Amino acid sequence: MSISGKAYIVGAYEHPTRKADDKSVAQLHAEVAYGALQDAGLNKDDIDGFFCTGAAPGLGPLNMADYLGLTKLKHLDSTDVGGSSYVLHVGHAAEAIALGLCDIALVTLAGRPRAEAMATGTAPRSWGLNVPDDPFEIPYGRTVANAYAMCAMRHMHEFGTTSEQLAWIKVAASHHAQWNEHAMLRKVVTVEEVVNSPMVSDPLHRLDCCVISDGGGALIITRPEIAKSLKRPFVKVKGHGEATKNQNAGYTDLTYSGARWSGPRAFEEAGVKPSDIQYASIYDSFTITVLMQLEDLGFCEKGQGGKFVADGNLISGVGKLPFNTDGGGLCNNHPANRGGMTKVIEAVRQLRGEAHPKVQVPGCTLALAHGTGGLLGTRHGSATVILERE
């Protein structure tokens, strides 16, 4: 079964906060859900499908449905593949709607790692008890930063990628973030500033890393008939792909990501190719994340990502592939350490023509959003959606 054209994104909302000292995680979920409903022109009791992850407090859908007062739910999905979850949820919501399992799906994300002073990238952390790989990784100081840094080191070794090329990704994000009043880092930076920022984990500098922010976002997805009865522009889910990649029983290859599999699945379902995409939201936990995903999604050949991103090729109005025009996780927002939600939201803004005028892609009708969740260097989820303005 194809989901192409069976569902539309009719509501999208990003919380403006970046530091939520005065709000609980549950309350942030409520505020993003309300924002997305207002955006769509729908009411709480219209929702009959609910999507969240393990980042939601308690037993996800149970405690959240209680707090939010969702009483009409007949479809639940709390698939958790880290930051890629919310891209994956768009695909799963479209599947559920296509099968008639629900009519109006709500996806929420919220968190407050900044208010809680979490050492997101530089302190070892586990995802729970009885995780079988933990005894073979946690004692060795596995962190988010070093698990991505090892991919960058190998990419440089195999393909000659340079720190300056990686820096161009941050530079492009900063060019976009300057226009976003909510962005955490609005200052335009240069390649020199990125490569001269303090080293966190070789070869990744502080400015190769994303921000740590509080907040969240929400999406409303529905059937075509309902979408067409609402007043918002028609943003159609055209294709979706998902995958996981891991250490492959010890024969791990760190030169590529799960986008190698999720990307082609999404393109095939959408019936389009990478060169058709006018705007791309690419997961940007680190600069290396972007570079590897661009290669694996087919925007350039494997190993050529460094050349592809250099010289402003990702800057809207300058380069061939405008990316993360909200400033992305690198400069704008990475709520709850999970960037998939904001990836979808900015793609929706571009397709509606509601991005900031300085970064809006003229006549944008075809966009891609892609997420990588977990750790690029060990095991991660990968999700791709292709969206079309009708």
Partner 1 sequence: MATPASNRAIPAIMVDPTNKPYFDAAREGRLLIGLCKDTNKYFWYPRGCSPFTLSNNVELVPAKGTGTIYTYTVMRTKEPFCVAYVELDEGVRVFTNIVDCDLDSLRIGQKVKVVFKPTQGDSPPATMFTPV
| Contacting partner 1 within 228-287 (CB under 8 A) | 247, 249-252, 254
Q: Tokens for 288?
A: 């290396």
Peptide bond into 357 cis (omega under 30): no
Sketch the per residue contact string, 156 through 175, with partner 1: x for CB under 8 A, - otherwise: -x------------------
CB–CB of 375/287 below 8 Å?
A: no
CB of 152 to partner 1, least distance (A): 8
CB of 114 to partner 1, least distance (A): 20
Residue with tokens 């820096």: 167
Q: How many residues bind partner 1 (CB under 8 A)?
A: 39
Nearest to partner 1 of 145, 290 (CB atom): 145
Nearest to partner 1 of 147, 266 (CB atom): 147
Nearest to partner 1 of 108, 165 (CB atom): 165
146 lines the binding site for partner 1 (CB under 8 A): yes
How far is 26 from 32, CA to CA, in rounded Å?
10
Strand partners, 340: none
- Single residue of 7, 47, 96, 151 touching partner 1 by CB under 8 A: 151
Sketch the per residue contact string, 192 through 231, with partner 1: x for CB under 8 A, - otherwise: ------xxxxxxx---------------------------
- Single residue of 16, 58, 69, 141 touching partner 1 by CB under 8 A: 141
Nearest to partner 1 of 243, 254 (CB atom): 254
Cα 324 from chain centroid? Answer: 10
153 lines the binding site for partner 1 (CB under 8 A): yes
- Single residue of 1, 22, 100, 140 touching partner 1 by CB under 8 A: 140
132 lines the binding site for partner 1 (CB under 8 A): yes
- Single residue of 15, 18, 142, 389 touching partner 1 by CB under 8 A: 142
Taking CB under 8 A as the binding criterion, the range among 4-12, 21-29, 74-82, 131-139 that sits at the site for partner 1 is 131-139
CB of 48 to partner 1, least distance (A): 38
CB of 278 to partner 1, least distance (A): 35
154 lines the binding site for partner 1 (CB under 8 A): yes
Site of interaction with partner 1 (CB under 8 A): 122, 124, 130, 132-143, 145-147, 149-154, 157, 198-204, 247, 249-252, 254, 378
